[in-house]
A and B are shown apart, each in its own frame.
Chain A
């Protein structure tokens, strides 16, 4: 059962992200992004990372993309005035780079055996919470300083004059 679900959600995620970068209208891209994020959340569930899956849906699919959509609607660029991309050479390079990355992943997967997976409950809320407040406490606290600097930075950039 699990491999089938993995292939299904993996395919949805890949197809969704291809749609995100190929759609002309930003709104369509944003909606496909939600689809992709949901599919990735399902992949997390398959890997027993329930907490991460919930956070993925609440924060990314819920809050971040909604903000994107708000901004797109506020700016409200008419369909005929959307910027036209002319950098086709860059696009081909991007596709080539992606192909190289996939090839690399395949080679790595064939050549090496990764160490065994983590314990079955390592993705539960309890396990994540414990790791966050013991082993990774410093990282957790430093993130708050980073976010503080980012918030102040956003205000400083948005204000009319400093």
Chain B
């Protein structure tokens, strides 16, 4: 039984904290005189920190439905709220250190960042098609603005423009799918849609509607063939924004993908196994092909990249492909593997982008060739980057390996061997281009020998990102337990 509007407010505190911070930012910016100060950054840090704390304190058991069934408060939502809030905090620190944004990172920037965060909170907990669409737009629209935040730079404008066009198309297709679902079932509640469709009728229209909805979600997680926007957007956007987009909205996209398909297509009690509904195609095969295509395209194109940001963009496409492996069979174990991988991915990917920012602050360049000799010019940054890149590859002592083990175990246990083989081959390809950066850093002679100074504070933050990347590779048990507890989705 969903809680009413007033009764829900006390369980909605993290979202309220973020909203209050957005309003405060606007007020402080309008009233305040010193517009270049870091006051906005600190204020948003405090707000997001408070939201993270409130999320951690939120009772997620038993799961409840809030606001007349608009959003759910369950372990799954709490997990993603904590994850996205953590990513936002790291990105705020990155934005404060970025030379690209210095002098420009004012209240507006943080308002957009926090609006996306609010959207991600709602996206991971939405249980109604109206709310789902609205929160997806709340993630997308400020993201367009963030991508185009550097107005003076042509590539930033191009990034924003491409993002808008692709985003609008994908969300248009998605909402058409929603309208078909509403027409088939007469309700906007995803749990009720699942129940209405469980009668097994209307297989073909349902298939079309689900494919259209998957287009919208696939665009958010940048899965092939809806990935075309991401390299240009990731390259053109300011680097902290790129880091944010590659972790935050991607995680929220996975949250909504899992919640929607799990609620609508898995049996309502969550025990009846995957993909209960009859349909003209094999859903497992469809998503397995999507997963294989995503990782293969991402990795193969990454091989030839000369720009680090672009390379990391393609690598993040590939990682979305790996994570989709946990989704193809729609089992709790697979979803647990996705959740764990997202935690690991947060640390290693944000870490890699952070080093890119620090290097670009010194060299004004993001070309791989300019990383030559970084091992002697800035040993600390170079070693950190090497750690993050090896973790992204998934080599044993690092956390990326454990994440991949769980994903591989899921497809192998369920007998989709060919997908495991494709993923293994892809990992080999990815080793080539990640290791190439490491080789350039440590074995090639730099054109310029001067030391690249990395101040103390960024060093500390790099440590905070590198330590979990290493630690989760040897002691991951607590995190996997949290992930296992978070696979409890609200069921009516």
Q: Which partner residue on chain B sits nearest A114 by CB separation?
A: B183
Question: Which chain A residues border B70 with CB–CB below 8 Å?
Answer: 135-136, 138-139
Within 8 A of A (CB), among B435-470: none
Whether the Cβ atoms of A157 and B205 lie closer than 8 Å is no
The residue that A145 contacts in the complex, of B22, B106, B130, B180, with Cβ under 8 A, is B22
Interface hit among A16-24, A33-41, A104-112: A104-112
Within 8 A of A (CB), among B61-110: 66-71, 104, 106, 108
Whether the Cβ atoms of B115 and A149 lie closer than 8 Å is yes
Q: Which partner residue on chain A sits nearest B67 by CB separation?
A: A138
Q: A162-B106, A162-B151 are in contact. Are A146 and B145 (CB under 8 A)?
A: no
Q: Which partner residue on chain A sits nearest B137 by CB separation?
A: A146
Question: Which chain B residues border A112 with CB–CB below 8 Å?
Answer: 184, 201-202, 205
Whether the Cβ atoms of A108 and B180 lie closer than 8 Å is yes
Q: A115-B185, A142-B122, A145-B138 are in contact. Are A137 and B67 (CB under 8 A)?
A: yes
- B141 contacts chain A at the CB level, 8 A cutoff: yes
Whether the Cβ atoms of A153 and B138 lie closer than 8 Å is no
- B19 contacts chain A at the CB level, 8 A cutoff: yes
Question: What is the CA–CA distance of A152 and B5 in the complex, to the nearest angstrom?
Answer: 28
Q: A112-B184, A138-B5 are in contact. Are A145 and B71 (CB under 8 A)?
A: no
- Count contacts on A: residues with CB < 8 A to the other chain: 28
Distance to closest chain B CB from A110 (angstroms)? 10
Question: Which chain A residues border B424 with CB–CB below 8 Å?
Answer: none
Q: A149-B115, A152-B108, A157-B151 are in contact. Are A139 and B141 (CB under 8 A)?
A: no
Question: Which chain A residues border B138 with CB–CB below 8 Å?
Answer: 142, 145-146, 149
Question: What is the CA–CA distance of A6 and B115 in the complex, to the nearest angstrom?
Answer: 41
- B7 contacts chain A at the CB level, 8 A cutoff: no
- B134 contacts chain A at the CB level, 8 A cutoff: yes
Q: A108-B205, A152-B26, A162-B106 are in contact. Are A139 and B142 (CB under 8 A)?
A: no
Q: A138-B71, A156-B108, A157-B148 are in contact. Are A143 and B141 (CB under 8 A)?
A: no
The residue that A162 contacts in the complex, of B104, B118, B144, B202, with Cβ under 8 A, is B104
Question: What is the CA–CA distance of A137 and B131 in the complex, to the nearest angstrom?
Answer: 10
Whether the Cβ atoms of B5 and A137 lie closer than 8 Å is yes
Q: Which partner residue on chain A sits nearest B180 by CB separation?
A: A108
Question: What is the CA–CA distance of A134 and B69 in the complex, to the nearest angstrom?
Answer: 11
Q: Which partner residue on chain A sits nearest B135 by CB separation?
A: A142
Within 8 A of A (CB), among B162-203: 180, 183-186, 201-202
- A72 contacts chain B at the CB level, 8 A cutoff: no
Q: A149-B138, A153-B142, A157-B148 are in contact. Are A136 and B130 (CB under 8 A)?
A: yes
The residue that B204 contacts in the complex, of A111, A152, A155, with Cβ under 8 A, is A111
Distance to closest chain B CB from A54 (angstroms)? 21
Whether the Cβ atoms of A104 and B208 lie closer than 8 Å is yes
Question: Which chain A residues border B67 with CB–CB below 8 Å?
Answer: 137-138
Question: Which chain A residues border B141 with CB–CB below 8 Å?
Answer: 146, 149-150, 153
Whether the Cβ atoms of B134 and A142 lie closer than 8 Å is yes
Distance to closest chain A CB from B36 (angstroms)? 11
Question: What is the CA–CA distance of A157 and B144 in the complex, to the nearest angstrom?
Answer: 11
Question: What is the CA–CA distance of A24 and B376 in the complex, to the nearest angstrom?
Answer: 62
- A148 contacts chain B at the CB level, 8 A cutoff: yes
Question: Which chain B residues border A161 with CB–CB below 8 Å?
Answer: 151
Question: Which chain B residues border A137 with CB–CB below 8 Å?
Answer: 5, 67-68
Question: What is the CA–CA distance of A145 and B116 in the complex, to the nearest angstrom?
Answer: 10
Distance to closest chain A CB from B237 (angstroms)? 15
Whether the Cβ atoms of A149 and B112 lie closer than 8 Å is yes
Question: Which chain B residues border A104 with CB–CB below 8 Å?
Answer: 208
- B111 contacts chain A at the CB level, 8 A cutoff: yes
Q: A139-B70, A146-B138 are in contact. Are A153 and B208 (CB under 8 A)?
A: no
Whether the Cβ atoms of A139 and B208 lie closer than 8 Å is no
Distance to closest chain B CB from A123 (angstroms)? 15
Distance to closest chain A CB from B179 (angstroms)? 11
Whether the Cβ atoms of B68 and A134 lie closer than 8 Å is yes
Question: Which chain B residues border A143 with CB–CB below 8 Å?
Answer: 134
Question: What is the CA–CA distance of A138 and B202 in the complex, to the nearest angstrom?
Answer: 31
Question: Which chain A residues border B131 with CB–CB below 8 Å?
Answer: 138-139, 142
Distance to closest chain A CB from B369 (angstroms)? 32
Q: Which partner residue on chain B sits nearest A149 by CB separation?
A: B115
Distance to closest chain A CB from B250 (angstroms)? 20
Q: Which partner residue on chain B sits nearest A136 by CB separation?
A: B130
Distance to closest chain A CB from B447 (angstroms)? 34
Flag B288-318 by CB within 8 Å of A: 1 or 0 each.
Answer: 0000000000000000000000000000000
Question: What is the CA–CA distance of A143 and B118 in the complex, to the nearest angstrom?
Answer: 12
Question: What is the CA–CA distance of A156 and B109 in the complex, to the nearest angstrom?
Answer: 9
Question: Which chain B residues border A156 with CB–CB below 8 Å?
Answer: 108, 145, 149
Flag A114-153 by CB within 8 Å of B: 1 or 0 each.
Answer: 1110000000000000000011111100110110111011
Count chain B CB atoms within 10 A of each CB in A114, A116, A137, A146 and give the residue with the most: A146
Whether the Cβ atoms of A149 and B111 lie closer than 8 Å is yes
Q: Which partner residue on chain A sits nearest B133 by CB separation?
A: A139
A156-B108, A157-B151 known, 19 other contacts, Cβ within 8 Å: A114-B186, A135-B68, A135-B69, A138-B5, A138-B67, A142-B118, A142-B131, A142-B134, A145-B19, A145-B118, A146-B141, A148-B111, A149-B22, A149-B115, A152-B112, A155-B108, A156-B145, A162-B106, A162-B108
Binding site for A on B (CB under 8 A): 5, 8, 19, 22, 26, 66-71, 104, 106, 108, 111-112, 115, 118, 122, 128, 130-131, 134-135, 137-138, 141-142, 144-145, 148-149, 151, 180, 183-186, 201-202, 204-205, 208
- For this complex, 15 residue pairs linking A to B, each with C-beta atoms less than 8 Å apart, are A112-B184, A114-B183, A115-B186, A116-B186, A136-B70, A137-B67, A138-B71, A139-B134, A146-B134, A148-B115, A149-B22, A150-B141, A153-B108, A153-B142, A156-B145
Please give me the 9 A-B residue pairs with the lowest Cβ-Cβ distance, nearest first.
Answer: A115-B186, A138-B67, A149-B115, A153-B145, A138-B70, A156-B108, A135-B68, A108-B205, A112-B202
